[in-house]
């Protein structure tokens, strides 16, 4: 699309954007007929692939029945059914309760406000700080951006961001791990960060079970998250898992947290919750915390115009049914192993790849630290028909140039072979030239 012919305020006003006309399975097609393998599911969103008639039919049916009912006054069968299937998929010893939002940033901000609300209910009004990590990315609204440990995205808006959000140093990829005393240097850094601001001033800690675009595919060492949860609960903090990218099958488990054997007090979800077919997010709260809220006299003061939109929640419910019925979590695990093996083969051939990391169909390529290297690979891949997700951030934590790969969970062996061949071509071109 020629910028001079568009009235859209695009993200980059100096770039020509291909106009996508339709999608089928793992592929998108632009107006010229060019085919793109969606190797990143957009932004790890289109988990179910493109062009699904079953989801389109559910959307149309819901729109005919009722397209909008304000959750301040009403509930709908679509919303109730969606919450039940979320609970079913988590298959836990207690129930999980869903607070709907319109996307991931709203979900993060809702979780932060909910943590603050709970601490006030507990008689701890001084607990207003939120702990997260550098680097991390939790969303692009001002509140979610303040939670994020992402200096590149935050820098222009720093004067607008609240100082109540505190960031612990990077979790080291080289850490020897948790010792017999239950500690490690990374956990010691967390403890020191809490002590510096006063542990009694913190309401919650937010973690990414597998790091997304700020540190593509990074997985903390064994024992770190359990140690973090133990420290948080000992200190009076709630634990919030950001499952916006990792949740509902992306990593080969239902939640990214499952890889660490933990259940947070609450988690956020979006992206794969609806597979990109409608704007959708959620905060999902465990039953112990729900009972505290239920017993409290004061309601949770929060809400958005499109929270629980009937069409969106109907889509989410249908997407989760497909996830269950087509066994896509198990498929993500199996295809993720095949993808990781193929990426390791590429690493043997191309020295610019430093490390392969991730879980399931959420794999990161950590590259040589040459500025712009990742962007050149992503652009070359796009030119030849492969969509990749460009990582961002600075070199803190050892990461500077990285790429995230996350095709739809419906991808098969032939699709993975195509992806790897296209990626190999881009790597060969960039390494050669």
With 70 as the cut, is the pLDDT of residue 314 above it? yes
pLDDT at 5 over 90: no
Strands 129-133 and 202-207: parallel
DSSP SS3 for 350: coil
Q: Judge whether residue 280 has pLDDT over 90.
A: yes
Residue 296: is its pLDDT beyond 70? yes
Q: In 3-state terms, what secondary structure has residue 302?
A: coil
Cα–Cα distance measured from residue 220 to residue 123, given in angstroms and rounded to the nearest whole number: 33
* DSSP secondary structure, 74-88, as one string: ---HHHHHHHHHHHH
Overall average pLDDT of the 368-389 stretch: 96
pLDDT of residue 178: 87
Confidence label for 393 from pLDDT (cuts 50, 70 and 90)? low
Q: Kindly report the pTM of this predicted structure.
A: 0.97
Question: What confidence score (pLDDT) does residue 396 get?
Answer: 60
Reported as a single tens digit per residue, the pLDDT across 120-169 is: 999 999 999 999 999 999 999 999 999 999 998 999 999 999 999 999 99
Mean pLDDT of 186-193: 97
Q: How far apart are the C-alpha atoms of 320 and 96, rounded to whole Å?
A: 15
Shortest CA distance to 410 belongs to which of 89, 25, 119?
25
Sheet holding 281-286, edge to edge: 96-101, 281-286, 266-269, 238-242, 202-207, 129-133, 165-168
Is residue 364 within a helix (H) or strand (E), and if so which, with residue range? Answer: strand 362-367
Dist. CA 141–CA 165, nearest whole Å:
14
93/11 Cα distance (integer angstroms): 45
pLDDT of 398 higher than 80: no
Mean pLDDT of 190-212: 97
**pLDDT at residue number 166:** 98
Separation between Cα atoms, residue 380 and residue 130, nearest integer Å: 39
Q: What pLDDT score was predicted for residue 209?
A: 97
Render pLDDT for 202-245 as a digit per residue (tens, 0 to 9). 999 999 999 999 999 999 999 999 999 999 999 999 999 999 99
Q: How confident is the model at residue 298 (pLDDT cuts 50, 70, 90)?
A: confident
Residue-averaged pLDDT of the chain? 96
Q: Which domains does the chain have, with CATH numbers?
A: 3-51+328-432 (3.90.1150.10), 57-325 (3.40.640.10)
């Amino acid at each position: 699309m020629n910028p001079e012919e568009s009235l859209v305020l695009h993200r980059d006003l100096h770039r020509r954007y291909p106009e996508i006309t339709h999608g089928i399975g793992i592929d998108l097609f632009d107006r010229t007929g060019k085919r793109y393998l969606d190797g990143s599911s957009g932004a790890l969103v289109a988990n179910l692939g493109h062009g699904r008639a079953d989801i389109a039919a559910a959307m149309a049916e819901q729109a005919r029945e009722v397209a909008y009912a304000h959750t301040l006054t009403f509930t709908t069968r679509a919303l109730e059914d969606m919450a039940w299937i979320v609970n079913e998929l988590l298959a836990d010893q207690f129930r999980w309760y869903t607070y709907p939002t319109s996307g991931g940033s709203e979900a993060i901000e809702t979780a932060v406000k909910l943590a603050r609300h709970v601490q006030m209910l507990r008689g701890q009004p001084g607990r207003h700080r939120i702990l997260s990590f550098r680097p991390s990315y939790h969303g692009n609204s001002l509140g979610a951006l303040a939670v994020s440990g992402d200096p590149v995205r935050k820098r222009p808006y720093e004067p607008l961001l609240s100082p109540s959000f505190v960031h612990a140093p990077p979790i080291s990829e080289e850490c020897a791990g948790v010792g017999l005393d239950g500690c490690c240097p990374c956990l010691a850094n967390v403890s020191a960060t809490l002590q510096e601001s006063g542990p009694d001033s913190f309401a919650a800690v937010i973690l990414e079970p597998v790091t997304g675009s700020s540190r593509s595919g990074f997985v903390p060492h064994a024992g770190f998250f359990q140690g973090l949860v133990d420290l948080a609960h000992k200190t009076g903090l709630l634990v919030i898992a950001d499952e916006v990218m990792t949740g509902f099958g992306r990593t080969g488990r239902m939640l990214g947290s499952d890889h660490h054997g933990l259940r947070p007090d609450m988690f956020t979800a979006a992206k794969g919750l609806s597979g990109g077919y409608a704007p959708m997010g959620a905060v999902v709260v465990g039953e112990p915390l729900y009972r505290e809220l239920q017993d409290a006299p004061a309601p949770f003061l929060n809400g958005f115009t499109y929270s629980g939109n009937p069409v969106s929640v109907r889509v989410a419910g249908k997407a989760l049914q497909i996830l269950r019925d087509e066994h896509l979590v198990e498929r993500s695990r199996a295809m993720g192993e095949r993808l990781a093996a193929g990426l390791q083969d590429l690493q043997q051939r191309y020295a610019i790849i430093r490390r392969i990391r991730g879980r399931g169909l959420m794999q990161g390529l950590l590259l040589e630290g040459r500025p712009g290297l990742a962007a050149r690979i992503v652009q070359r891949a796009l030119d030849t028909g492969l969509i990749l997700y460009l990582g961002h951030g600075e070199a803190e934590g050892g990461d500077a140039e990285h790429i995230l790969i996350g095709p739809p969970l419906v991808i098969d062996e032939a699709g993975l072979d195509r992806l790897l061949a296209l990626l190999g071509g881009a790597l060969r071109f960039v390494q050669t030239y």
